[in-house]
Amino acid sequence: MTDSTDPTGPQGEPDPAPGAEPPAFPQEKAPGCPFDPPPGYRRLQAEDPFAPATLPSGQRARVVTRHRDVRAVLDDPRFSADSSHPDFPRMFPRPVPQVLKGTFPRLDGAEHLRYRRMLARDFTGRRAEELRPRIEQIVDGRLDLMEAGGGPVDLMEALAYPVPSTVVCELLGVPAEDSPLFESRTRVLINGRSGPEEMMRAKDDILDHLEGVVAAKEKKPGDDLISRLLVEQVAPGLLDRAEVAIIAWLLLAAGHHTTATMIGTGTMLLLENPGQLAALRADPALIPGAVDELLRHQTAMQIGMNRIATADVTLGGETIHAGEGVVCQLATANRDADVFADPDRFDVTRTVRGHLAFGHGPHQCPGQSLARVELQVTLDRLFTRLPELRLAVPAADVPFWHHLFGIHGVKELPVTW
Low-confidence residues of the chain, pLDDT below 50? 1-16, 96-99, 101-102, 404
What per-residue confidence (pLDDT) applies to 126? Answer: 95
Q: Which of 153, 67, 158 is nearest to 414 (CA)?
A: 153
What per-residue confidence (pLDDT) applies to 151? Answer: 86
What per-residue confidence (pLDDT) applies to 304? Answer: 63
Q: How far is CA 401 from CA 27, 65, 191, 298, in A?
A: 14, 21, 8, 12
pTM value > 0.75: yes
What per-residue confidence (pLDDT) applies to 202? Answer: 84
**324: which residues sit within 8 A by CB, 6+ positions away?**
61, 62, 87, 308, 309
Q: How far is CA 353 from CA 244, 361, 379, in A?
A: 34, 15, 21
Cα–chain center distance at 250: 13
Q: How far is CA 326 from CA 65, 99, 303, in A?
A: 11, 20, 11
What per-residue confidence (pLDDT) applies to 303? Answer: 72
What per-residue confidence (pLDDT) applies to 93? Answer: 67
Vertex 359, ends 168 and 44: CA angle to 5°?
140
Pairing status of strand 414-416 against strand 153-154: antiparallel
C-alpha count within 13 angstroms, C-beta hemisphere, residue 203: 18
